[in-house]
Amino acid sequence: MQFAPLFPVIYRLLQPTFPKCLWNGDRKSKAIALTFDDGPHPQYTPEVLAVLDRYQIPASFFWLGACVNRSPQIAKAVCDRGHWIGLHGYDHRSFPMLSPTALRESLAKTQAAIYSACNLPPEQVRDVRPPNGFFTPQTLNLFFEWNYRPVMWSVVPEDWVRPGVNTVVQRVLQQVQNGSLIVLHDGYDGGQDVAATIQILIPKLLQQGYQFVTVDTMWQQIPKGN
């Protein structure tokens, strides 16, 4: 069973309940963010980079520390192009299932892997997206205590179950609006199709007048109190 139709409903319910998370950007702006979870991957991430290079599109990548350690050269190639880097945990374990100590260690180990591969200091890598979008109020309180910024989503086409490139594209196009924060995957689940997906999706979104920005830019653009 695919849950793609439920994600817009979940978003509408959770976004006002947890307003300190980044769920979307400025709804008055045509700026949108294209984000990728679960990488870097030795094959799929370079394919994504090739498409982003073609259209000169900035994106944001939420990485697993274990994958960074396995593919440090790929991680560096992403950073060298100026894309924004965030954290997705060390090995995709659900954050609410971890003790505070284990959660902090997972994030710190991922920051360390990124520093080793890309020379990005930990204080520059503090955006966190929980695996599977699962979090609790306690999880968020820990993020704030440790000076991390929680990043969520507003468009989730469920590409990780591989419903087909055209289906993923149509789901995004049906949901996208000003300030949308789009989630795709360049890891082992869903990464097989991601380059083909964005090759179709990016020009269509550009034709609709959207501008691509990083998650960091989106944080800066959202009105206070949004």
Q: Is 38 a catalytic residue?
A: no
Number of neighbours of residue 28 by Cβ within 10 angstroms:
10
Q: Which pair of tokens denotes residue 61?
A: 């990548």
Residue pair 214/124 in contact by the 8 Å Cβ criterion: no
Note if 189 is an active site residue. Answer: no
According to DSSP, the β-strands at 149-150 and 127-128 are parallel
- β-strands 181-185, 149-150: how paired? unpaired
- Of 41, 88, 92, 185, the catalytic one is 185
Strand, coil or helix: 18:
coil
Task: List all residues 6 or more positions away from 48 whose beta carbon is below 8 Å from its beta carbon.
Answer: 36, 59, 186, 194, 195, 198
Residues 6+ apart with CB under 8 A from 17: none
Residues known to be catalytic: 37, 185
